[in-house]
Amino acid sequence: MSRLAVGPRRFLLLARITAALVVANVATGAAVRLSGSGLGCPDWPTCAHQSITPPLSLHPVVEFGNRMVVVVLVVACAVTFVAALARRPRRRDLTWLAGGLVAGVMGEAVVGAIVVYSKLNPYVVAGHFMLGMAVLADGVVLVLRAGHAPGRGSPLVSRRLVVLSRAFFAVIVLALFAGTGVTGTGPHAGGPGAKRIPMALVTMARIHAETVLTAGVVLLVLLYLLWRSNAPAGVQDRGRIVLGVMVVQGVIGYTQYFTHLPAVLVGIHVVGATAVLSVVLWFHHGLADHRAETADGDVWDGDAGAMAMDGSELEQAGTPVVEVTA
């Protein structure tokens, strides 16, 4: 019986599906909070007492729907991890990232249970969201790396700009964290009687806005330096796309605040946060030029115009191959 083998293209498809499910998990989790359904299923892993399925009313159905998305996500992460082990050629970086997805969603399930049993403690809820964004970052990086050959690639910009891009990403993470504080002080507690963070909403919103504006300034400086250094057009275009996504997200954020945080706009803003994080990672990844990997695992170096053959092809070509085992 032949062994299971997964090619690079199929693995990339699996990685994309899993990343999309992570976004769906974040979106349905926001729907739970914004509809006040956080305690729609007061038990875990069952919905209520000995019943796995929810009663046919809004809050239990919304909460249970999010749990079902998590179940599908767990299965997808497990399948992706198995596919990483069965991928030919196998790559250690993809295996670790796929394993990170499994660990992340299992952690999400545990923290989700703590959210229920802590009666929607705002700090636990904030941690639940940030863990979800960490899983998303893992999934996005997995998709990006699975789309090309292994290795860091050839730098397209100076080391200074790479470091500045990392600083920009760090500020974005701080902005996401501050955003959880806004939610923790705002009116959408996730359910009746849930505790709130003891801070004024306007204060937390100001901290979040100032952090986002700081990220915007760093990005503008980065774009200016890319232009001054005559960086490749593709890199500059990616930076402008990030700026555009951030501007749209900012408009949504200010609109929701000045319209007293309507649930629909808050939900759109949460999904927008996943878009911001994804494009920032995509932009940073694009600061290097990566070789393509063909369907059979060979590496095509477009600049050199040559195919890097694997061991079997070298042997067929008459070139001796020395195998090194650890």
d(C-alpha 56, C-alpha 81), whole Å: 35
d(C-alpha 130, C-alpha 210), whole Å: 19
pLDDT of residue 295: 53
pLDDT of residue 84: 96
DSSP codes, 42-87: -SSSSSBTTBSSPPSSHHHHHHHHHHHHHHHHHHHHHHHHHHHHHB
Q: Give the list of residues 6+ apart from residue 187 with CB closer than 8 angstroms, or none.
A: 261
pLDDT of residue 38: 76
- Pick out the chain residues at pLDDT < 70: 1-2, 294-326
pLDDT of residue 316: 40
pTM over 0.75: yes
Distances (CA, A) of 100 to 84, 85, 289: 12, 13, 25
What is the pairing mode between strands 306-308 and 288-289? unpaired
Say what angle helices 92-117 and 8-34 make with each other, to 10 degrees.
Answer: 20
- Strand partners of residue 301: 306
Domain segments of the chain: what residues? 1-151, 153-289
CB 47 within 8 A of CB 60: yes
